[in-house]
Amino acid sequence: MFSPLTPLDWKRRAVKYYPNKTAVIDGEKEFTYKEFGNRADRLSASLMEAGITEGDHVAVMLPNTHYMLECFYGICQLGAVMVPLNYRLSGKELEYIINHSDAKMLIVDEEFARPIEEIGDRLSLEEIIVVSVEGQKTSLTAIDYEGFLTKAPADVKLPEVQIDENRLLTLNYTSGTTSNPKGVMLTHRSNYFNAANFMHHMRVEHDDVYLHTLPMFHANGWGGVWAITAAGGTHVCLRKVDSSFILDLFETRKITLLCGAPTVVNMLVNDPRAREVTMATNPRMGTAGSPPAAALIHKAQDILGLNMIHVYGLTETSPFILYCEWKKEFNTKSPDEQAAIKARQGIELTRLQWRNQGYPSGRGRSTVERRRTR
């Protein structure tokens, strides 16, 4: 009866209990949990067919699309490891990371393929898969993502893969401010706990409609890629962070929750259309990364009606580690005072997840891990 801790269980649960609920919205496209689960399963089966097996590393460089979400589940449920890449990096940086990560395969969005074209012959990859984008044309020798999925039968049934909760789920590279980027080894267990903390501190509910303003490559969207599925909520994808697109989605999709760095909060605060849109729905918004100024929180709350939640973390801690806990007594304070309190970094998370990681800091392609996964 002992079962490992993995966020992948939540996909199986959502497909079982919410098959016809909208799982993912991406522009005009919508997928129910059954459809989304099937696409992830077909990706897994096609990857197996292509030789990807337990412990293999697959790099993924995609914006916040349904393809990116499919990769998290489709790659990882094989026991393989996803390496999410920042598509804003230079060719030189990507060359270092891809080769260092030991990736056998790369899945890349056609819009962001240019740096890969430049470094393609210096990469140790065995295969590249491209997500085609209208109006883009890559010169890469690559397989088309949708064509790749057809390798698997439409009603594919995956073999059960035994997961060890202390093995890698994702390998997330840091920004490399001080030296080369480090590959942070996040396990099934650490991803699970971070997502559980995300659910608790963002107060995720079954009917939440979550907008992926935060890059999913960034510490797995702070855990949002797993937590929304856990609750059976709806993921709304966003290819480009632009306040006009965001406000459109607030209106049309009735967004209830989003996350973003203070720069994204600032972008919303400075959009003259924002007040009318956000005041109608009062979404919750998590912010983290650089410290949000009290003045910014004040504007977001009082002018836009956003319900701000201040968290803090780093890739090495899965990422959440601190949060600013709201207490009933703060409700009697002035809006200014409330914003000043919310600007504090706060205290350790309730779930204490950061103490429950397999690997706390970047060890990238360590010899230990290579021996274990190859």
Would you tell me which residues interact with its own copies (CB under 8 A)?
1-3, 5, 9-10, 13, 17, 166, 196, 199-200, 203, 206-207, 230-232, 325-328, 347-348, 350-352, 355-360
Q: At its nearest, how many Å lie between its own copies and the CB of residue 223?
A: 14
Contact 147, 49 (CB under 8 A): no
Q: At its nearest, how many Å lie between its own copies and the CB of residue 205?
A: 9
CA 310 – CA 297 distance, rounded (Å): 9
Q: At its nearest, how many Å lie between its own copies and the CB of residue 180?
A: 22
Q: In this complex, which beta carbon is closest to its own copies, that of residue 291 or of residue 360?
A: 360
Q: At its nearest, how many Å lie between its own copies and the CB of residue 156?
A: 23
CA 250 – CA 236 distance, rounded (Å): 10
Partner residues linked to 323 by β-bridges: 311, 347
Q: At its nearest, how many Å lie between its own copies and the CB of residue 350?
A: 6
Closest CA to 84 of 112, 46, 51: 112
Strand 234-236 versus strand 81-84 pairing type? unpaired
Q: In this complex, which beta carbon is closest to its own copies, that of residue 215 or of residue 319?
A: 319
Contact 320, 311 (CB under 8 A): yes
Q: At its nearest, how many Å lie between its own copies and the CB of residue 166?
A: 8
Angle value at C-alpha 316, between 312 and 319, nearest 5 degrees: 35
Q: At its nearest, how many Å lie between its own copies and the CB of residue 353?
A: 10
Q: In this complex, which beta carbon is closest to its own copies, that of residue 305 or of residue 360?
A: 360
Q: In this complex, which beta carbon is closest to its own copies, that of residue 89 or of residue 349?
A: 349
Q: In this complex, which beta carbon is closest to its own copies, that of residue 200 or of residue 275?
A: 200
Q: Hey, what amino acid is at 82?
A: M
Q: In this complex, which beta carbon is closest to its own copies, that of residue 5 or of residue 125?
A: 5
Q: In this complex, which beta carbon is closest to its own copies, that of residue 98 or of residue 324?
A: 324
Neighbour order of strands in the sheet with 103-109: 143-144, 127-131, 103-109, 57-61, 81-84, 168-173, 183-187
Task: Name residues whose C-beta falls within 8 Å of residue 309's C-beta, 6 or more positions apart in sequence.
Answer: 201, 202, 284, 285, 286, 287, 323, 324
